Structure 1
Amino acid sequence: MKKHLLLGLLLLSSTGLWAQIDKFEKEIKAYESQDSLAMPAKNLRLFFGSSSFRLWKSFNQDMAAYPSINRGFGGSTLEEALYYFDRMVLKYQPAWVFMYEGDNDLAKGRSPEFIAQEFVEFSKRLKEKLPNTKLVFIAARPSLARIAMLDKQKDLNGRIQQIIAKEKGRFYIDMQSPFFRADGSLMDDIFVADRLHLNEKGYQLFVKQIHEFIQKHP
């Protein structure tokens, strides 16, 4: 049975599955070209994930006090994060990996259970390859465009928290509650026109959570 399962996974990985992931090659190669001109130092904080990182325009300014590199790409998922692990994580030898994935995964129909298992795989791979590197999962955040996914986001975030609680060197940043008002309603002035991505005010809240975490875990 295990042999058949493995064969099925291999067949998937050799056909359409990786072809879809390869749509990010242009972005990844752009980072590699950038690295060929000036390779980042080791032991930095690596921000690795989807468009919440990629569209973080004030990243260099916001993280100036905390040596970091941003490798956000496209509308990526944990599947892509695993696929590009060697090229976009391992080679940097970071002290910390801050991950933002899960939101797009849910939007593509993947279950919280499946995504959580992919996180386990990513964490396991990081421990095997870079045993001293710490991993931070930034919770899937709410948005007006995906308000129907809120319960699934909470489910996923809860599953990741349970996994992290059992692992040394694994951490969680709440990125749900900061975006809600005291009455429980989601803020409607923190998004750009697509109602999905954050505007400047939204990023101020986003950055505040990350700074507070780093200050507690220097």
Structure 2
Amino acid sequence: MKKVGFLFLLTLIGIVSFSFGQEIPFENEVKEITQRIKRDGYQVGSTLFTGSSSIRLWKNLQADFPDYPIINTGFGGSKASDLKRHLYPLVLQFNPSRVFIYEGDNDIHAGLSPEEIMQDLEQIILRIQVVDPSTEIFLISAKPSPSRWDKKENYLKLNKAMKAYCEEKDGVEFVNVWDIMLGENGEPISTIFIEDRLHMNEDGYELWKKVFEKYFPEK
């Protein structure tokens, strides 16, 4: 089957669970994101970041890694199942060479188990690799945040599952942002978050930049 056929099939898979006329979560936001990217222009083979609000709010992402063309399709409040549903418009249609995925944070908060989250992430990875087996994929660990610290153990279980999966799966790497965001007391560094104690400020993204730099070697 040709690549176009794969993309069409994956698009159908993404919407098959919804009945005719039923509102699809994030549909309008996804349209706005993709229309903006197409309007502004993008390069095939870019590095693409997607996932929930921690990606969407990384405003300096392109400036932080200027030697690499970057596409940001983060959509706030999303879970892995939402990315799976909108995988074609947010990822596949842009033909990236590398994809960084941040999902799982909102999933744990919503009461999903690490096993359920990994099932969705595995489906996302499978679909990306079916379309282009050469695509490099990176799973970003869940981050620690003060507002969700009561679910610490579940986040640690998810991160452990992500890491184990990446160690076994070809073409997929694990990006650990958890450790660098903890203080000497073993708890989240409070000064790297905005008032909601969930989303990061510029200092938080500076820490993320340090983690991601090794995945962006100077050209």
Q: Match of 2:44, as an amino acid?
A: K
* Aligned-residue offset at 1:37: 2.2
Contact 1:49–1:99 (Cα < 8 Å) also in 2: yes
What residue number does 2:206 align with?
204
Determine the C-alpha separation between the residues in 2 that align with 1:174 and 1:27. 28
* Aligned-residue offset at 1:187: 0.9
Contact 2:50–2:73 (Cα < 8 Å) also in 1: yes
Q: CA RMSD in A?
A: 2.1
Determine the C-alpha separation between the residues in 1 that align with 2:187 and 2:129. 39
* Among 99, 102, 111, the residue aligned to 1:100: 102
* Aligned-residue offset at 1:36: 3.7
Structure 2 residue 3 is the aligned partner of structure 1 residue 13: no
Structure 2 SS opposite 1:57: coil
* Aligned-residue offset at 1:152: 0.6
Structure 2 SS opposite 1:72: coil
Contact 1:49–1:76 (Cα < 8 Å) also in 2: yes
Q: Match of 1:14, as an amino acid?
A: F
Question: Which is worse superposed, 84-93 or 179-188?
Answer: 179-188
Q: Match of 2:88, as an amino acid?
A: D
Contact 1:42–1:92 (Cα < 8 Å) also in 2: yes
Structure 1 SS opposite 2:82: helix
Aligned residues: 204
Question: Which is worse superposed, 57-66 or 96-105?
Answer: 57-66
Gaps of 5+ in 1: 1-11
What whole-Å deviation, never above 9, does each CA across 1:99-139 have from its counterpart, x for those lacking one? 00000011111101110111111111111112110110010
What whole-Å deviation, never above 9, does each CA across 1:176-201 have from its counterpart, x for those lacking one? 10011233232111100000000111
* Among 134, 151, 154, the residue aligned to 1:152: 154
Contact 1:139–1:176 (Cα < 8 Å) also in 2: yes
In structure 2, do the counterparts of structure 1 residues 14 and 27 end up closer, same or farther at CA, with 3 Å as the change threshold?
closer
Q: Match of 2:65, as an amino acid?
A: M
What does residue range 101-116 of structure 1 map to in structure 2 within 5 Å? Answer: 101-116=103-118
Q: Match of 1:147, as an amino acid?
A: W
What whole-Å deviation, never above 9, does each CA across 1:137-182 have from its counterpart, x for those lacking one? 0100000000011111110011111111111110011111001123
What whole-Å deviation, never above 9, does each CA across 1:11-38 have from its counterpart, x for those lacking one? x92359x74xx23122211123224424
Determine the C-alpha separation between the residues in 2 that align with 1:32 and 1:212. 28
Structure 2 SS opposite 1:136: strand
Structure 2 SS opposite 1:145: helix
Structure 2 residue 130 is the aligned partner of structure 1 residue 133: no
In structure 2, do the counterparts of structure 1 residues 102 and 25 end up closer, same or farther at CA, with 3 Å as the change threshold?
same
TM-score if structure 1 supplies the norm length?
0.87
Structure 2 residue 75 is the aligned partner of structure 1 residue 73: yes
Gaps of 5+ in 2: 1-15
TM-score if structure 2 supplies the norm length?
0.87
What whole-Å deviation, never above 9, does each CA across 1:73-100 have from its counterpart, x for those lacking one? 1211110111111111111110000000
Contact 2:65–2:216 (Cα < 8 Å) also in 1: no
Runs of 4+ in 1 over 4 A off after TM superposition: none
Determine the C-alpha separation between the residues in 2 that align with 1:203 and 1:139. 14
